[in-house]
């Protein structure tokens, strides 16, 4: 996969993804939390916007209805972390863990939902950025999909 990285303002990428998801799902209950300071990342802005859109869309389509979805950014230990958090079932968490732990795609695609295909594309894009994507341990059936991107050393 060809990735054309440049220094981008993460807020702009997230805003574009949020605007796009609201066009398709105007009823979305979304809370966005950003750091006070501007967050710059070395990414392919078009691909990263698609990643965020896909994660938000999966949260809307497959998460608990009428629950708030959180999009949260934090910077810690030379990493920028992007969290997409929503409510789901324990079964959903197991499926996501399987997908992000390099299982064969055919093993994790839910034939009823089609969940695995879009998320395997997400994983491919994040891997091409030398990043990580995983499901963080949470409580109360929360699903916290985390993207980690190494911050540029300046």
Domain boundaries, the chain: 6-150
pLDDT of residue 108: 44
Mean pLDDT along residues 58-75: 88
50 has pLDDT over 60: yes
Residues near 80 by Cβ (< 8 Å), separated by ≥ 6? 10, 39, 41, 73, 74, 148, 149, 150, 151
What pTM value is reported for the model?
Answer: 0.85
- Contact between residue 86 and residue 93 where contact means Cβ atoms under 8 Å apart: no
pLDDT of residue 91: 55
If we measure between CA atoms, which residue out of 57, 44, 46, 75 comes closest to residue 150? Answer: 75
If we measure between CA atoms, which residue out of 87, 91, 90, 81 comes closest to residue 29? Answer: 87
pLDDT of residue 111: 45
**Among 15-19, 49-53, 64-68, 75-79, which is the least confidently predicted range?**
64-68
* Burial bucket for residue 152 (CB in 10 Å: 0-12, 13-18, 19+): exposed
Q: How does pLDDT run across 105-136, given as a tens digit for each residue?
A: 444 445 445 555 678 889 999 999 999 999 88
**Among 85-89, 142-146, 147-151, which is the least confidently predicted range?**
85-89
**Residue 123: CA atoms inside 13 Å, Cβ hemisphere, count?**
19
pLDDT of residue 62: 78
Architecture of domain 6-150: 2-Layer Sandwich (3.30)
- Contact between residue 52 and residue 58 where contact means Cβ atoms under 8 Å apart: no
């Amino acid at each position: 996969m060809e990735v054309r990285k440049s220094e981008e303002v993460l807020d702009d990428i997230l805003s574009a993804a949020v605007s796009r998801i609201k066009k398709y799902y105007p009823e979305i209950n979304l809370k966005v939390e950003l750091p006070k300071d501007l967050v710059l990342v070395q990414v392919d802005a078009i691909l990263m916007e698609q990643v965020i859109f896909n994660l938000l869309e999966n949260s809307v389509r497959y998460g608990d209805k009428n629950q708030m979805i959180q999009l949260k950014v934090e910077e810690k230990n030379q990493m920028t972390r992007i969290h997409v958090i929503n409510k789901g079932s324990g079964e959903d968490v197991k499926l996501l863990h399987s997908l992000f732990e390099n299982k064969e795609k055919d093993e994790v695609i839910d034939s009823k939902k089609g969940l695995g295909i879009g998320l395997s594309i997400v994983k491919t894009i994040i891997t091409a950025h030398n990043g990580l994507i995983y499901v963080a341990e949470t409580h109360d059936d929360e699903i916290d999909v985390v993207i980690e991107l190494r911050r540029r050393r300046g």
